[in-house]
Amino acid sequence: PFRNRERITFDHLVSLKKPNDTAQLIVLRGGVKHELNVTLQP
Q: Are 19 and 40 in contact (CB under 8 A)?
A: yes
**What is residue 3's predicted lDDT score, i.e. its pLDDT?**
64
Q: How far apart are CA 41 and CA 4, in angstroms?
A: 29
Reported pTM: 0.56
Q: How far apart are CA 19 and CA 15, in angstroms?
A: 10
pLDDT, mean over the chain: 88
Distance of CA 41 to the CA centre of its chain: 14
Q: How far apart are CA 30 and CA 28, in angstroms?
A: 7
Read off the pLDDT band of 5 (50, 70, 90). Answer: confident
Average the pLDDT over 14-20 and give the result.
91
Backbone angles phi, psi at 10, to 5 degrees: -60, -40
